Amino acid sequence: MEQNQELKKAGLKVTLPRIKILEILQAPANQHISAEDVYKILLEQGEEIGLATVYRVLNQFDDAGLLDRHHFEGGKSVFEMGQKKHHDHLVCLKCGKVIEFEDDLIEKRQIEVAEKNNIKLTHHSLYLYGVCQPSCEDR
């Protein structure tokens, strides 16, 4: 179980809820997933893991730096495993599709803007909202 190593490395005891939640987050289909949706998948899998535990474990993973937390428009937090390189997000307002992108020029300008304003930059959030072309065009 490579999940076990990940958990131990993060200083967390190896427990069933944490293994299951980690597995769900690691699945390619579940990038950018909400706590509620993690919980739904656990239910479908027949696991008896409480919603409070899901929130708790996600926060622990966040503290341990295992994942990134996003706040897309519309309220709830969205999580994604964070081993990848930094990137920002495009979100379709119609179908909810999320596209990741990196733009070095934007990143560089952000640093310059912060410097110009005497702020030591720690992180940033950039979300581009729009509509998929042409698939979500009408509807």
Where along the sequence are the contacts to a copy of itself (CB under 8 A)?
71, 73, 90, 92-93, 99, 101, 103, 105-106, 109-110, 113-114, 117-134, 137
Q: By rule CB under 7 A, what string of x and - marks binding of each residue 80-119 to DNA?
A: ----------------------------------------
- What is the Cα–Cα distance from 44 to 125, expressed in whole angstroms? 32
Q: Any contact of residue 3 with DNA (CB under 7 A)?
A: no
Residue 16 contact partner, candidates Zn ion, DNA, a copy of itself, none, CB within 5 to 8 A by sort of partner: DNA
Q: Any contact of residue 100 with Zn ion (CB under 5 A)?
A: yes
Per CB under 7 A, the list member of 2, 48, 73, 104 interacting with DNA is 48
Residue 81 contact partner, candidates DNA, a copy of itself, Zn ion, none, CB within 5 to 8 A by sort of partner: none
- What is the Cα–Cα distance from 12 to 18, expressed in whole angstroms? 9
- What is the Cα–Cα distance from 8 to 128, expressed in whole angstroms? 36
Tokens of 137: 């065009």
- What is the Cα–Cα distance from 38 to 35, expressed in whole angstroms? 5
Residues with Cβ within 8 Å of 41's Cβ and at least 6 positions away in sequence, in order, are: 24, 30
| Span 57-86, contacts to Zn ion by CB under 5 A | 80
Phi, psi (degrees; rounded to nearest 5) at 129: -110, 140
